[in-house]
A and B are shown apart, each in its own frame.
Chain A
Amino acid sequence: MNQAEKITLSELQGLIRDRIYEALPGSFWVVAEIAELKVNYAGHCYLELTGSDTPGGKVTARARATIWASKYRSLNTFFNASTGIPLRAGITILFKATVEYHELYSLSLNISDIDPSYTVGAMALKREAVIRRLTEEGVISMNRGMELPPYPRHIAVVSSSKAAGYQDFVNHLTLNPYGYVFVPELFEAVMQGKDTDTSVTEALNLISEDVNRFDAVAIIRGGGSSTDLSWFDSYDIAFHITQFPLPVLTGIGHEKDISVTDMVAWKSHKTPTAVADFLVEHTMLSENHIIEMAGTLAEAVNDTIGSAGEHLALLQNRIASMARLVIKVRREQLGYHSETLRRSEAGALRAATELTDRHENALRHLDPAGVLKRGFTLTAKNGLIIRSPDDLKEGDTITTHFERGKATSTVIRTDKIP
């Protein structure tokens, strides 16, 4: 190699820079994912961009990029207003950039514009894919099948102790105006950034190990409309919630949209304080229901006792009046019987008299004295009454009795009536 042809590194870099500027003049609209994003003290934004052939696939390209402070402020504000999230790692953006080459820092892309609608579309697609997957797996509404106890006391809270809203949540819960006792227990988790996913699912796993100690889970994070909600569009967090054996309440702070996490939760609220207020109100409603039931019970008991008393009084009256009626009927029957008796006694007497008279008459007719008086006679032999000529023979002495005296005769002949 000819030594005269040697050049310095900066000369080489200068050559590369010139060739690049010649070959790639002007700006390009490029799609890439932000792998890292840092803003320095001066407000300049430094990004690490990656690209892959398929969405979410293996990284096949990598480049550094910058957004100078003067641009970054307005771009980020506009981006945030359009998409609901700030520029951050993990999102895919469509940006306008020029290719820069610096002898010290080599290749870099200088971003001058970003189209937020691309990110909105990409995020919506990603979010839709998560929802579709949860729906196809048949788990999307599983947590809503859980039952929140009437008085949920022990609340497992997934949040960051540093998160805005956590302390508000605890205050609203524990200093409620009705004096209900709540015991919130914090399970520390990262509530934004790329670690949200694993951190929240780890916290949920910790709670599920001790699930019997708790009545409900609250996933909370303060914020407001500028908060990046897309971390909670994660499939993993959503799936964990659908499979969770306790009702999961969310208050992850967004005014306009709801995340997939909110969608699969047992109930979602906009803010942590709204979750706390809901728990207090739920308890109050349960208490009211119990008071109402107690009132209904008291009424029902009074009605039952009242009607039992009335029934008893009715029975008592009927017993008394029936007994009196029976006695009256019996008394009337008795009167009737004695009258009958009296009547039948008189009849019997008359009949007996008649019978006696008849018998007397008959007897009178049968008396021999009466017979003799009417002209009949009696014939006797040796004192025995003779009823047939067979009892007599010629020469017998017989006595004939008349009403007044008798005559003695001797039998000359006997003739029998043939």
Chain B
Amino acid sequence: MAKKEIGFNEAVKGIEEILKSIEEGEPDIDKLSENVKKAAELIKICRKRLRETEEKIDGIMEDLR
């Protein structure tokens, strides 16, 4: 079964949670790189989403003209 694609808001929430755990918690050095990697992946997903949305909207708006 295909993995359900993570949504923009969900991804941002993930990034914020990771950031919060690094800022407030007792960060585990062993997990730090893992967390940063995870955050970077989530940021990548968000960027992709933004770009796709922008392109889609541009297309829709172009149709209106």
Contact B50 A315 (CB under 8 A): no
Q: Pick from A311, A315, A323: contact of B32, CB below 8 A.
A: A323
Report yes or no: A312 in contact with B61, Cβ–Cβ below 8 A: no
**A330 pairs with B46, CB closer than 8 A:** no
State the total of A-B contacts with C-beta under 8 angstroms: 57
Query: Which residues B10-65 have CB closer than 8 A to chain A?
Result: 12, 15-16, 18-19, 22-23, 27, 29, 32-33, 35-36, 39-40, 43, 46-47, 50, 53-54, 57, 61, 64
Assess the A326–B43 pair: CB atoms within 8 A. Answer: no
Q: Which residues of A contact B54 (CB under 8 A)?
A: 305
Interface of A is mostly: helix
CB closest chain-B residue, reference A298: B61
Q: Which residues of B contact A323 (CB under 8 A)?
A: 22, 32-33, 35-36
**CA of A319 to CA of B8 in the docked complex: distance in angstroms?**
17
Rounded to whole angstroms, the CA-CA distance of A182 and B46 in the bound complex is 47
A144: shortest Cβ distance to chain B, in Å? 34
- Please indicate the chain A residues that have their CB under 8 angstroms from the CB of B19 in the complex: 315, 318-319, 322
Q: How far is the CA of A320 from the CA of B40 in the complex (A)?
A: 9
The residue in chain B whose Cβ has the minimal distance to the Cβ of A329 is B27
Q: Are B8 and A308 in contact (CB under 8 A)?
A: yes
Residue pair B29, A312 in contact (C-beta under 8 Å): no
- Do A315 and B47 touch across chains, with their CB atoms under 8 A apart? no
- The distance from the CB of B58 to the nearest CB of chain A, in whole angstroms, is 10
A301 within 8 A of B: yes
> Using a CB-CB cutoff of 8 Å, which residues 259-301 of chain A contact chain B?
294, 298, 301
Q: Do A316 and B43 have beta carbons less than 8 Å apart?
A: yes
CB neighbors of B among A60-119 (8 A) = none
The answer on a CB contact under 8 Å between A322 and B23 is yes
* Chain B: minimal CB distance from A331 (Å): 10
Contact A327 B50 (CB under 8 A): no
Q: How distant is the Cα of A311 from the Cα of B19 in the complex, in angstroms? A: 13
In the assembled complex, A193 has its CB within 8 A of some CB on chain B: no
Q: How far is the CB of A288 from chain B (nearest CB, A)?
A: 14
Cross-chain contact A312 with B18 (CB below 8 angstroms): no
User: B29 near A319 (CB under 8 angstroms)?
Assistant: no
| Contact status A309-B50, CB under 8 Å | yes
A315-B36 contact in complex given A301-B57, A309-B50, C-beta closer than 8 Å: no
Nearest-CB distance from B18 to chain A (Å)?
7
Nearest chain-B residue to A334 (Cβ)?
A: B29
A164-178 residues with Cβ-Cβ distance < 8 A to B are none
| Closest Cβ–Cβ distance, residue A35 to chain B (whole Å) | 64
Judging by beta carbons under 8 Å apart, are B32 and A312 in contact? no
On chain B, the residues within 8 Å of A294 by CB distance are 61, 64
A315 CB to closest chain B CB (Å) equals 5
Tell me which residues across on chain B come within 8 A of A309, comparing CB atoms: 47, 50
Chain B proximity of A97: nearest CB distance (Å) = 74
**A–B Cβ pairs within 8 angstroms, 19 of them:** A294-B61, A294-B64, A305-B50, A305-B54, A308-B50, A312-B15, A312-B43, A312-B47, A319-B19, A319-B36, A319-B39, A319-B40, A320-B36, A323-B33, A323-B35, A323-B36, A326-B22, A326-B32, A327-B32
List chain B positions with a Cβ less than 8 A from chain A. 8, 12, 15-16, 18-19, 22-23, 27, 29, 32-33, 35-36, 39-40, 43, 46-47, 50, 53-54, 57, 61, 64
Beyond the given A315-B16, A330-B27, please list 12 additional residue pairs across the A-B interface where CB-CB is below 8 A.
Answer: A294-B61, A311-B12, A315-B12, A316-B39, A319-B22, A319-B40, A320-B36, A322-B22, A323-B22, A326-B32, A327-B29, A327-B32
